[in-house]
C-alpha cells in the first residue's frame, strides 16, 4: 500500500505542483526609462503665438561643459532664434530649431519642433477684385506641433455690402470699396487672421 501511495504522489500530485508553479513566475523587471541624450532642448516641442518669444533651454546629461554652440532654424521663416535659444515667432507655421555643440570634447546635436500658433489665409489670386467676382479662399489653422488642428473657422466681413464671405470661405465682391475679412478658429477664438479686400468696378 505505501508503494501505491508513493506512485500516486509521483504520477499525479507532482505534475500538478509543477503546473501550479507556472502561475507563480516572478514579475517582469520594470523597463528603465530612456536615458536622456548628451545634449537636448527642453522642451523639445513648443507652441508659440505670433509675435511672442520663448526660450528653449539647452540641457546636457550630467554636468557637461559646452563649447562651440551653434543654433539655427532649419527651413522656413516661421521663427528666428538667437545664440541662447530664444525663439521669436515671426510667421504662422512650423519650424525646426537645431543645435550643435561640443560637450566635454564630444560633438553633439539636438533639435526642437516649434509651431507658431495661428491662422493663415490665402486667396486664389490677389485683388483688387471686380464687382461680381467670386473667389474661393483657402486657409490653414496651426495649433499643434504636427502643423494641424481643427481647421473649422468662422468668417465675417467688416462691410458685407462691399464684400461678403460664405461659411465655406467664398469671397463675394458686391460693390466698389474696401473691407476686411476675418477668420476665427472655432477651436480657439484667439487664433484668427484678417484679409484686407479692395473691390473695383
The verdict on residue 15 lying in a domain is no
pLDDT in tens, 68-96: 999 999 978 899 999 999 999 998 889 99
47 and 95, same structural domain?
Answer: yes
- At residue 34 the predicted structure's pLDDT band, cuts being 50, 70 and 90, is low
Check residue 148 and give its pLDDT: 72
Share of the chain above pLDDT 70, in %: 80
Same domain, 83 and 135: no
Residue 176, in any domain of the structure: yes
Q: For the chain, what is the HEC assignment?
A: CHHHHHHHHHHHHHHHHHHHHHHHCCCCCCCCCCCCCCEEEECCEEEEECCCEEECEEEECCCCCEEEEEEEEECCCCEEECCCCEEEECCCEEEEEEEEEEECCEEEEEEEEEEEEEEEEEECCCCCEECCCEEEEEEEEECCCCCCCCCCEEEEECCCCCEEECCCCEEEECCCEEEEEEEEECCCCCCEEEEEEEEEC
Q: Rounded mean pLDDT of the chain?
A: 84
Average pLDDT of the residues in 158-184: 96
Is 62 part of any domain?
Answer: yes
pLDDT surpasses 70 at 20: no
Residue with cell 504662422: 92
pLDDT of residue 2: 52
Domain boundary pick from 67, 94, 117:
117
Report yes or no on 45 lying in a domain.
yes
* Domains identified in the chain, total number: 2
Choose the final residue of a domain: 117, 143, 169.
Answer: 117
CATH code of residue 145: 2.60.40.1080
Task: Answer whether residue 59 is part of any domain.
Answer: yes
Show the domain range for 148: 124-200
User: Are 132 and 66 in the same domain?
Assistant: no
- Give the three cell numbers for residue 9: 504522489
Looking at the structure, tell me whether residues 102 and 167 fall in a common domain: no
- One domain, residues 129 and 169: yes
Residue 130 has pLDDT above 70, yes or no: yes
Q: What's the pLDDT score for residue 194?
A: 94
CA distance 97 to 99: 7
Residue 62's pLDDT band, with cuts at 50, 70 and 90, is confident
pLDDT at 25: 46
Asked if 46 and 95 sit in the same domain, the reply is yes
pLDDT reading at 122 higher than 90: no
Global pTM exceeds 0.75: no
Asked if 187 and 152 sit in the same domain, the reply is yes
Higher pLDDT, 16 or 105: 105
Amino acid at each position: 500500500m505505501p508503494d501505491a501511495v508513493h506512485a500516486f504522489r509521483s504520477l499525479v500530485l507532482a505534475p500538478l505542483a509543477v503546473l501550479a508553479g507556472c502561475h507563480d513566475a516572478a514579475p517582469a523587471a520594470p523597463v528603465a526609462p530612456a536615458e536622456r541624450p548628451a545634449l537636448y532642448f527642453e522642451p523639445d516641442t513648443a507652441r508659440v503665438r505670433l509675435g511672442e518669444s520663448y526660450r528653449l533651454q539647452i540641457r546636457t546629461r550630467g554636468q557637461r561643459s559646452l563649447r562651440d554652440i551653434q543654433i539655427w532654424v532649419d527651413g522656413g521663416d516661421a521663427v528666428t532664434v538667437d545664440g541662447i535659444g530664444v525663439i521669436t515667432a515671426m510667421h504662422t507655421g512650423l519650424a525646426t530649431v537645431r543645435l550643435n555643440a561640443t560637450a566635454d570634447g564630444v560633438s553633439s546635436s539636438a533639435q526642437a519642433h516649434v509651431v507658431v500658433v495661428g491662422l493663415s489665409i490665402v486667396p486664389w489670386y490677389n485683388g483688387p477684385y471686380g464687382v461680381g467676382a467670386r473667389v474661393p479662399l483657402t486657409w490653414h489653422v496651426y495649433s499643434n506641433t504636427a502643423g494641424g488642428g481643427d481647421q473649422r473657422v468662422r468668417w465675417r466681413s467688416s462691410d458685407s455690402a462691399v464684400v461678403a464671405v460664405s461659411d465655406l470661405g467664398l469671397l463675394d465682391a458686391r460693390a466698389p470699396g474696401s473691407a476686411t475679412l476675418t477668420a476665427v478658429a472655432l477651436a480657439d477664438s484667439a487664433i484668427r487672421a484678417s484679409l484686407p479686400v479692395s473691390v473695383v468696378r
